[in-house]
Amino acid sequence: MATPDLAAVREVRAAHPERIAETARRRRRRPLLGDDGRLLVVAADHPARGALAVGRDQAAMADRAELLARLVVCLENPGVDGVLGTPDILEDLLLLGALEDKLAFASMNRGGLQGAVFELDDRFTAADAETIASMGWDGGKMLCRIDRSDPGSLTTLESCGRAVTGLADHHLPAMVEPFVSERDGDRVRAVLTAEAVITSAAVASGLGATSAYTWLKLPVVEDMEAVTAATTLPVLLLGGELSASPDDALARWEAAMGLPGVRGMVVGRWLLYPADGDASAAADRLAAIVHPADRSAG
């Protein structure tokens, strides 16, 4: 895996920052959905929330050159449709030329730093709807964690509602990632039961003045049939943490891809930092699940 030459990126950032927006306006864009109506997106918005760990490696995502190299490898795969990241990540990839004919979704709320006492008061500290539109990004993503015992969740819900409305005003998709959450000591833990995911999807579906452009990003849990039956909104499956059994994870994702309303997957660490280290092979495996017709045609 070749390490990208970041000298030119650093030079633009220091001496010609205006070129970032200029380059974004010239980027070749593509439709949201291709012929098969499915999406595979690689996620890399973890660092801005202070979440750098992958498995037992607490600083796996700290090396920006390595992270960008892994992202470029994944985006070179024709079965990977785009990337989800904070503005700094998207702009680095833009300057590297990696976003041509790819989708780029901007992460919006990263204020809920991992392990912070204010983690569930997840302020919108990254992209906003107006800048997403002006930069020509293809949509926005927000994390919406709901803990009935933490008043910070109310602030997050209100902010997510405004962001959904703002993106809809620009006819841009809002990718909402909801979780029913609870504190386990110093850690915020997602409740991964079908009942909890259905509840979170119901709450997220009602955010904003219109749901016309809302997509849901949901984890794969037991009884996904009931989860997908709970909404008419497009669903993208969440990749989540590294699995001790990658083959089991792939089998669960493949089964869930066949359910009504499921339009694809958004996968981060599982794709970028697979157990065997081969991000290219991981991209191939996921692309075969999300875009099986492309593989059979080839």
Question: Exposed (0-12), middle (13-18) or buried (19+): which is 254, by Cβ within 10 Å?
Answer: middle
Q: Specify whether the CB–CB gap between 242 and 268 falls below 8 A.
A: no
Average pLDDT over residues 55-77: 94
In whole angstroms, give the CA distance from residue 40 to residue 267. Answer: 8
Contacts of 176 (CB under 8 A, 6+ apart): 141, 142, 144, 160, 164, 204, 207, 214, 215, 216, 217
* Predicted pLDDT at 100: 97
User: In this prediction, what percent of the chain has a pLDDT beyond 70?
Assistant: 96
**pTM, two decimal places:** 0.95
* Predicted pLDDT at 3: 78
pLDDT at residue 1 is higher than 70: no
| Span 91-122, pLDDT tens digits | 999 999 999 999 999 999 999 999 999 999 99
Q: Specify whether the CB–CB gap between 142 and 176 falls below 8 A.
A: yes
Q: Which residues of 8-46 are buried (b: 16+ CB within 10 A; e: fewer)?
A: ebeebbeeeeeebeebbeebeeeebeeeeebbbbbbbbb
| Span 239-296, pLDDT tens digits | 866 565 777 889 999 999 999 999 999 999 999 999 889 999 999 999 999 999 865 5
Q: Which residue has the higher pLDDT, 78 or 275?
A: 78
**Mean pLDDT of the chain, nearest integer:** 94
In whole angstroms, give the CA distance from residue 139 to residue 159. Answer: 16
User: In this prediction, what percent of the chain has a pLDDT beyond 90?
Assistant: 89
* Predicted pLDDT at 241: 65
Q: What are the Cα distances from residue 213, in Å, to 31, 128, 140, 149? A: 15, 16, 10, 30
* Predicted pLDDT at 293: 81
Average pLDDT over residues 122-128: 97
Alpha helix positions (H), 233-278:
246-257, 269-272
Residue 236, SS3? strand
User: All domains of the chain, ordered by start, with CATH?
Assistant: 7-297 (3.20.20.70)
